[in-house]
Each structure stands twice: as C-alpha cells, then as structure tokens.
Amino acid sequence: MEGARVSGQVTIDFGNGFENIFQKDYVLPELRKKVGMVFQTPNPLPMSIYKNVAFPLRLAGYKNRENIRGKVKKAFEHAFLWKEVKDRLSDDARLLSGGQQQRLCLARSLVLDPQVLLLDEPASSLDETSVQLIEDLLVRLKNKCTIIMVSHYMDQVKRIADQQFVLCDRQLKPV
C-alpha cells in the first residue's frame, strides 16, 4: 500500500531461541516451511487436487515420489478429506465444494508439518458439517503446533482455543 510503513520486529522461537523474521538476511523459504497459513476464502491452485497438496513439498525440495505421496495422503487424512478425494486426485481442485476446498487448503498447509498455523476465519461461509470437521481438526492439531486463529465467532474460538484475546481499540486484550 502506498505510504505504508513497517517498523519494529517480529520474533518467534522455533526451538532455537527467538529469531527476528524481519531481518534482511532471514531465510524466507525456511519460514514458509515452519509457518502454514489458511485464508478465509479458500484458494485452491489451478491444478489437480493432488498437486495442490504436493506443491509445497516440491517447493521445499522434496524429490522422492514415494515420500511425497505418503506425506500428501497423510495431509489429506489429517484434513478429513482423503475418503472424499482419493478416487479423483487428478481432478481440478477448483471443482471441489467450498468446504472441501477449505480442507484442501488446510491439507496444503499441513503437508510440511508446520510449527505454527495461522488461520483467518477458517470456517466462515461453510456448511455445519464442514465447520465441525475443521473444528475437530484444529482441536487435534493444537497439540502438534501453535495455532493462531482470527475469528468473529467467539463460540467457535472458545471450543478450540486454550487462550483467547480480543482486539479492541488497537489493543490485544485477554478474554
């Protein structure tokens, strides 16, 4: 955005002490392996269902096809999507339903086993069944990685979160 300015630092501890991810020499591909992101609106890539989830592995330098297949299947299973797509992995991912697309995006974020998962309204505009599947997944995942979720639905946040905060008057306040 024109005239925008960023100052300060963002530090994250991935197990080796706090690192400032805004340092000019910070290796962004390493950050992308450690942090997954799922947006409010599903964003399947214009490729097959399988390739959507395998794509981050290819970017990360994975070459072994069998290893990639195993990781992709595991990610689909974690996102409660495997049974629904296993027979149509070569289909265009953009043809999936909204709930399936959102779970596909979750699977794509999970395939690299991130340490942090950022979620922006991960269940908005989804049917009740898809919302329940995503909430179940997030409850299961919070033992494996740090989840930071933005949501307008406080009931949903209470079902999932260990800690809750509200952004009010440009201040983050615990609930």
Q: Per-10-residue mean pLDDT for the chain, 175 residues long?
A: 81 90 87 93 96 96 96 94 97 95 94 95 83 89 92 90 90 89
**pLDDT for residue 88:** 97
- Terminal Cα-to-Cα distance of the chain (whole angstroms): 32
**pLDDT for residue 6:** 74
Nearest-10 crossing angle of helices 128-141, 65-78: 120
Domain boundaries, given as residue ranges, for the chain: 11-174
**pLDDT for residue 2:** 86
According to CATH, the topology of domain 11-174 is Rossmann fold (3.40.50)
Q: What angle do CA 163, 167, 168 make, to 5 degrees?
A: 135
Model-wide pTM > 0.85 = yes
